[in-house]
Amino acid sequence: MRIAVITETDPHEDRVAATPETVKKLVALGATVSIEAGAGLASGVTDADYQGAGATTAPNAQAALADADVVLKVRRPTAAEAGQMKRGAIVLAIMDPYGAEAALQSMADAGLSAFAMELMPRITRAQVMDVLSSQANLAGYRAVIDGAAEYGRALPMMMTAAGTVPAARIFIMGVGVAGLQAIATARRLGAVVTATDVRPATKEQVESLGAKFLAVEDEEFLQAQTAGGYAKEMSKDYQAKQAALVASHIAKQDIVITTALIPGRPAPRLVTEDMIASMRPGSVLIDLAVERGGNVALAKPGEIVTTPNGVKIVGHLNVPGRLAATSSSLYSKNLFNFLETMIDKASKALAVKWDDELVKATNLTRDGAVVHPNFMPKAPDPAPVAPATPSA
């Protein structure tokens, strides 16, 4: 059983899909682990660290991938990378499959068994494999740190002989894993925190962290959650009422952090240009959804924009990757925990249970085809049947 880990080629990606800790565990399961030279450097892991854990170092990606039965990655493999993998290889990564039909087909054409880690179901035994939670948790933390750095003032209230410094006011929009960590971090730093979300279950979570909950709590609000625990898109009427409430609140805030995402859909627009214009000079907006279209008007992916009225709009890409060492540690454990379920410990060989609910939920391609029901190519409409010719 050969496992390969290669350097991520995306210029904004510093994470790596294995650490010495997970390599040691993989070797104990009977695997031979080959890691491309330098793959972990951006995450603070040297080739010597990997070798000390039992891995071998390959001079390049092609050498690492040669004959690999399993490939561990952070991002979806490029067409070139997929072409270097052997047919039948298992690939675990954050695949970002929505709207990526051509990329999925290229993996299918390469004969890969590709698994999208972000599609892991939200059930108890899958919690240790949940990459969305492990990475969003760090994004929420980092968003507060980035906001504090850009804000230029102290966050906690300080009473000194020279005078009193008021606590900063921080508003979190979207209370998923990232939002909850942002609330907790902002509270630990001494800010006055409010938060909003369309899901009623989040109210208690927000208040348990010492923050104040803000929402239009009507009947639609009480029904606004899917069975999987995700937010669902709200009606135009509700959005208008919520926007009016948020608009009056946001004008008084020092830092606003937006985290709202809808799986498979563009991020909802939460902060309008009028809201930004109402904010005070020096205020900061952090848009964690900027890579999915953005929650904030005027946000630009990969840039910090300063508006004419002095508001900073931060659109950092790959925020978990800004904490590459920590995010790689957690992500690699998520991968290991999933891969471990595919290994027969007695024979120390791959033994994928294709009918397992975790496998079925995450498997995108297999045996040369896209097999996930949400991403399979649509069958062409049947040709119209010509009307029968009446008999003479």
218 CA to centre of own chain: 30
pLDDT given at position 238 = 83
DSSP string, 234-264: PPHHHHHHHHHHHHHHHTT-SEEEE----TT
pLDDT of residue 72: 99
Is-catalytic flag, 283? Answer: no
Model pLDDT, residue 204: 95
**pTM for the full predicted model:** 0.91
| 8 A C-beta contact, residue 186 and residue 170 | yes
Residue of 34, 113, 133, 328 marked catalytic: 133
Domains of the chain: residue spans and CATH: 2-119+323-365 (3.40.50.720), 137-317 (3.40.50.720)
Residue 130 appears among annotated catalytic residues: yes
Determine whether 133 is an active site residue.
Answer: yes
Find out whether 293 and 264 touch, Cβ atoms under 8 Å.
no
pLDDT of residue 340: 98
Q: pLDDT for 315-343, tens place per residue?
A: 999 999 999 999 999 999 999 999 999 99
The rounded Cα 255 to chain-centroid distance in angstroms is 22
What one-letter code names the amino acid at 108? A
**Residue type at position 121:** P
| Candidate list 230, 235, 237, 274, residue with the active-site label | 230
**Which pLDDT tens digit goes with each residue over 341-382?**
999 999 999 999 999 999 999 999 999 999 999 999 876 666
Out of 67, 125, 127, 274, pick the active-site residue. Answer: 127
* Per-residue model confidence (pLDDT) at position 195: 98
Element of type H or E holding 339: helix 324-340
Contact (CB, 8 A) for 359 and 51? no
- Phi then psi dihedrals of residue 391, to 5 deg: -75, 150
Q: Which residues of the chain have pLDDT under 70?
A: 224-232, 379-392
User: What pLDDT, on the 0 to 100 scale, is given for residue 230?
Assistant: 60
Q: Are 71 and 89 in contact (CB under 8 A)?
A: yes
What phi, psi does 253 have (nearest 5°)? -95, 150
State yes or no: is 239 an active-site residue: no
121: nearest Cα among 109, 113, 112, 129: 129
Tokens representing 89 are 């290889």
pLDDT in the model for residue 217: 76
Query: Catalytic annotation on 127?
Result: yes
313: exposed, middle or buried (C-beta count within 10 Å: 0-12, 13-18, 19+)? buried
- pLDDT score at 388: 62
Catalytic-labelled residue, pool 122, 187, 188, 269: 122
